[in-house]
Chains A and B, each alone.
Chain A
Amino acid sequence: EVQLVESGGGLVQPGGSLRLSCAASGFTFSSYWMSWVRQAPGKGLEWVANIKQDGSEKYYVDSVKGRFTISRDNAKNSLYLQMNSLRAEDTAVYYCARGGGDGYNFFDYWGQGTLVTVSS
């Protein structure tokens, strides 16, 4: 059974940093592109970033470029999102999702999400 479990969310002040993690199991993690998708409270879904199987390609939505960094550790079956210079508008539930790349342009499994709140 495919499982994605996020962690690392919480309350952080504007300008602060946070690192999200996603532990994957039930599939060959190193064979898939992985993505982060977020959802602001009461709002729709927004793709944030994705990363190729070997980490050699990474893409970001414009609003987080230069502030967020996606990475992965295939030996640990883990996906990460380092978030710096956080803003109030980054407040959202962040989902780890399998997919997003190489023609596999949809997300077939999602984690339960972790809430990031940026507020003073």
Chain B
Amino acid sequence: SYVLTQPPSVSVAPGKTARITCGGNNIGSKSVHWYQQKPGQAPVLVIYYDSDRPSGIPERFSGSNSGNTATLTISRVEAGDEADYYCQVWDSSSDHFYVFGTGTKVTVL
């Protein structure tokens, strides 16, 4: 089945840029979606189709996807961005169809 690998944690100072990677075999050929999940809360979609932002999501959140790596970038990080972030793709050959990454905990220093 298709596997998406994320770093377990990323630490970033306020005002700096956080980059969260999502690795998968030829992931650049797939559409990647990203979710933010704060403790005790449901996930929130922050990026879809690699780089589109839903309404209400700040422009500080952006995405890219190429080769074997997709990246979620959070610019001018704020304390409120501290959360777990998950990437997700659709893979028809996988028994899961909708595959989520392993998740990355973003800590704001």
Q: Interface residues, chain A, CB within 8 Å of chain B?
A: 35, 37, 44-47, 50, 59, 61-62, 95, 100, 105-113
How many B residues, CB 8 Å from partner? 25
Are A105 and B98 also in contact (CB < 8 A) when A45-B35, A45-B43, A110-B44 are?
A: yes
Residues of B at the A interface (CB closer than 8 Å) are: 31, 33, 35, 37, 41-45, 48-49, 54, 86, 88-90, 95-103
The 3 tightest CB contacts between A and B, nearest first, are: A105-B90, A47-B98, A106-B33
Q: Is the CB of B54 within 8 A of A108?
A: yes
Interface centre among A35, A100, A106 (most CB of B within 10 A): A106
Given A110-B44, A111-B42, A44 contacting B102 (CB threshold 8 A) = yes
B100-A45 in contact (CB<8A):
yes
Q: Closest residue of chain A to B6, judged by CB?
A: A44
- A62 contacts across to B, CB distance below 8 A: 95-96
